[in-house]
Structure 1
Amino acid sequence: MKSNIFEYQFTVTKSAIDDMNHVNNVVYLQWVQNVAKKHWESKANDVIRNTYVWVVLNHFIEYHNPAFEDDIITLQTWIDHHKGVKSERHTKIINSKSNKTLVSAKTTWCLLHKETLRPIRITEEISALFQAEK
């Protein structure tokens, strides 16, 4: 189940910069989570968002190149596949000017029922939200 790529673009602010004058590694991880949330919110209606919530089970992240203040960044994310209660999401963080990949990440998410906070199987309704258009 490969989904369409969702993109979000922004400019790196001073608050993202560490003592080495580039984006801090923890900030990249926050961006991975932020773009996943934006993707979810762009697809799921209020009823779905009020019924379900996602939690991270693990992140695998690779740092390829640094980013700096005022760089324009493109975040790309997509769902690679899902099974049962788990979904595998990929994210690329790209320098928009050079087109260099800065970070690549793979995150395993678990779907929970928002009221009980118990894992719940990913429904066809949710799966259909993220399927690639043919």
Structure 2
Amino acid sequence: MSTFFDLKLTVQAEHIDILKHVNNVVYVQWMQDVASAHIEALGLGLAQYLELKHAMVAVEHHVQYRKAALLGDEIVLRTWLHDINTLYSFRQYAFYRAKDKSLLFTGSTKWACIEMASGRSKRMSPTFIQAYQPLSEEINPFDFGNLD
């Protein structure tokens, strides 16, 4: 079992669209960014992918935009692993505004393990399975009360 992972950022001008809020595509990029930071923190990032010759790739995203994020907002990108089997891991996300704990975005991604040389599906190695443990059921990732 594992815990959630948080990455803080401040909304910049390049994140804003013509409607003066964070562009929808930016949230998907942030999903990738926080997932990458999380796997690095778990000790199974790009360097290990290259060494092991297999990697996890996104095969399916589900997103829900709940409230707008605006220029200058401090946002917390939260992610956690929800489930795992020998071919797939399932990751969830909750992004919220730090000052008022407003939930801005939720999402999930299905990740597939592939052999890097061929791009074909591959069963996850024990190294991957050990690192990618689901969030403990005792932890509520939507409890934003214990923040800095």
Contact 1:3 1:80 (8 Å CA) reproduced: no
Q: Distance in 2 between matches of 1:89 and 1:121?
A: 18
> CA shift at 1:117, angstroms?
1.7
Amino acid at match of 2:35: A
Contact 2:4–2:79 (CA<8 Å) still a contact in 1?
Answer: yes
Distance in 2, Cα, partners of 1:45 & 1:75: 18
1:97/1:14 CA distance change after superposition, 3 Å: same
Aligned twin of 2:15: 16
SS at match of 2:32: helix
Task: Show structure 1 runs of 4+ deviating over 3 A.
Answer: none
Please, what TM-score do these two structures have when normalized by structure 1? 0.90
Partner of 1:54: 56
- Checking the alignment, whether the CA contact within 8 Å between 1:4 and 1:130 is kept in structure 2 is no
What is the distance in 2 between the residues matched to 1:65 and 1:46?
33
SS of aligned partner of 1:23: coil
Aligned to 1:129: 131
Aligned equivalents of 2:124, 2:100: Cα separation in 1: 38
AA at the equivalent of 1:15: E
Ranges in structure 2 where 5+ consecutive residues have no aligned partner: 139-148
Q: Which position in structure 2 is the counterpart of 1:78?
A: 80
CA contact (8 A) 1:11 1:73 kept: yes
- Structure with the bigger percentage of strand: 1
Question: In percent, how many aligned pairs have the same letter?
Answer: 29
After TM superposition, the structure 1 = structure 2 runs for residues 1-134 of structure 1, keeping only pairs within 5 Å, are 3-43=2-42, 44=44, 48-50=48-50, 51-131=53-133
Tell me by how many angstroms 1:105 deviates.
0.2
Equivalent AA in structure 2 for residue 35 of structure 1: V
Q: Deviations over 1:88-119 (max 9, x none)?
A: 10011110111111000011010112222211
